[in-house]
């Protein structure tokens, strides 16, 4: 059941489910289950690194876009407007 849930979390790219599954790794019996778990854990690790890189790239792009938008705004002219 744990291996199936791990497969589903990887396919869905569900990092919350991956975290929960990694926090509660069961004792696996059988060479096939252990081999499958190792393969899936490598895939999960690769997925997390890919998502991290994508997030980093997106954040850099947002920062560049914000800087561009700020540079295109007119600078406010300092004025002293006193009305009685």
pLDDT in tens, 54-84: 999 999 999 999 999 988 887 777 777 777 6
**Alpha-carbon span 47 to 45, nearest angstrom:** 5
Planar angle of CA 17, 20, 21, nearest 5 degrees: 85
Say if residues 48 and 18 touch (Cβ distance below 8 Å).
yes
pLDDT tens-digit series, residues 11-31: 999 999 999 999 999 999 899
Q: What's the first-to-final CA gap in the chain, in angstroms? A: 77
Q: What are 36-51's pLDDT values in tens digits?
A: 999 999 999 999 999 9
Total-model pTM: 0.71
């Amino acid at each position: 059941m744990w291996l199936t849930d791990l497969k589903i979390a990887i396919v869905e790219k569900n990092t919350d489910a991956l975290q929960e599954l990694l926090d509660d790794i069961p004792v696996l019996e059988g060479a096939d289950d252990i081999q499958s778990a190792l393969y899936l854990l490598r895939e999960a690790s690769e997925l997390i690194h890919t998502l991290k890189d994508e997030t980093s790239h997106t954040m850099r792009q947002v920062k560049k876009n914000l800087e561009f938008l700020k540079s295109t705004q007119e600078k406010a002219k300092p004025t002293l407007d006193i009305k009685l």
